[in-house]
Amino acid sequence: MSSAVDVVDLLVIGGGIAGGSCALRAADCGLDVLTVVKSADPRNTATEWAQGGIVAEGDEDPPELLVEDILEAGDHIGWPEAAEQLADMGPDLVMELLVDRLGVPFDREPNGDMAKGVEAAHSRSRILHVGDATGYAIQQKLTEALEAHEGIDVVSAHMAVDLITRSHHDPHPSRAYSPDRVLGAYILDEDTGEVKTVLARCTILATGGLGHIFLHTTNPPSATGDGVAMAFRAGLPIRNLEYVQFHPSAFFSAQGDRFLISEAVRGEGAWLLNSRGERFMERYAPDKLELAPRDELARAIHEEMAATGHPCVYLDLANHHREGLDIEGRFPQIHAFLRSRNLDLASDPIPVVPAAHYSCGGVLVDLDGKVPDVPGLYAVGEVSCTGLHGANRLASTSLLEGLVWGWKAGAACVQDVEAGASSELDPVYARIPPWDSAGCEDEVDPVLFQQDWNSIRSTMWNYAGIVRTQRRLKRACNDLGYLGHRIERFYRSTRLSRELLELRNGIVTARSVAEAARRNTVSRGCHYLRE
């Protein structure tokens, strides 16, 4: 990617497991693939931050059982066909791509079999893991494969500004009578400030999540809702944004440190205790206890914190774990982090709080990752809404969803490119104007950025967080609406940068989440309404 205008078969925006598997599948079939990631290090993705594991196949574990667990966790509003596709394709794809091809070093039992853990709301032990750094291990191997593939160009420190669509960017009058189509994206080179025009036969949104629109999150700093915001501005269908999952156990400190304490810690037997030392889940979920679905756990912790006036609860693995567990060996990353905070997972109860973790909604797609009625565009991974998760996500299904839909989208893109006549699009490509930065000359002011982000995150946490009311959501929509107009004016006069784009995307996505929550008056799953 060296010129101001590039034309490729496939543009992939994002380099995690969803975008990466898509790029590999398409490049294997001969497509010319450009993968852009906004971080300077292409391995710095949400996938890299995933700790717990990835769903595979357990003992006496037919696909129908996984489907049942997924739909149950999603409060039975998920799409059964999506759950069936995941259960049918996923375990084989894990073995073929992650184990056999990429060589991800999943943990094994002494006899050589894959070690399989159990996590919240799973009825079988079916989770493969690499200690407590599964996503890190997958991302290292995946990035190596992407960079080594002769058909893939991986470009870091490049951020998508907006999708290029025929309806928005083709100046020819015929656009009013033609179906809309995504033609690529404008891409910011973060080092030079140049905005490049990348035209593509197919474009993949694989930008990850939106956790950083909330005050507390387990997501990487890059999770600012970029894909949802670009889709919104392009007029694309977006669904289920109100269903934001809050992970029950992020490390708490008064200094503001947040670090995910994996679901797998509870899977190994840890108890949740309040400040009085009581195992409070006995009152909220007496059957499943600490292995209840995440939304139930997050609300229970929220209630205990409110009832006791204490800023956190405690996760106790030291005194409650399965016999023979090597705590440091099983959770090396968590153990090392806690030791740096003068805590020991093997001897101390760990202070935890809920934090925004995963968006169950996003850009609406079909079983191939295609966006309906918008040729040329796919969305995979957390930015998408496949219908798999319904109102709440089952633990350790996010990596598998990204893998399956990424692989399917890559294959579908090959079919699209092979079936399409390039000559039909070439005249349209020739008419697409370069990025216009006229009038955007003001320098970045870090104080303004920080204040606006503080307003977004506090508003979302307090009014559209774990427990919502219609009154709070109305306040959120009003406050964010005013802030959104102010940020858009700021955007149009300020020199383009990653920080500016993330702020613009963050406010658009925050407003979209709050509005979706306000419209949905049914309390269900992650979207918990109290009146």
Query: Is the distance from CB of 463 to CB of 413 less than 8 angstroms?
Result: no
Q: How far is CA 86 from CA 54, 235, 262, 386, in A?
A: 12, 28, 22, 11
Q: For residue 136, give the amino acid letter.
A: Y
Residue type, 128: L
Q: What are the tokens at 379? A: 């969305």
Whether 294 sits among the annotated catalytic residues: the reply is yes
Bridge pairing between strands 384-385 and 362-364: parallel
Q: Which two tokens stand for residue 381?
A: 């991974």
**Cα–Cα distance for residue pair 54/188, rounded to 1 Å:** 33
Q: Identify the active-site residue in 25, 126, 181, 294.
A: 294
Distance CA 29, CA 233 (A): 32
Are the CB atoms for 93 and 404 separated by under 8 Å?
yes
For 166, phi then psi, to 5°, come to -65, -40
CA distance 213 to 225: 8
CA-based angle 312:314:317, to the nearest 5?
160
Cβ neighbours of residue 287 closer than 8 Å, sequence gap 6 or more: none
350: phi then psi, degrees, rounded to nearest 5? -105, 125
CA pair distance 296, 356, nearest whole angstrom: 14
Catalogue the active-site residues: 294
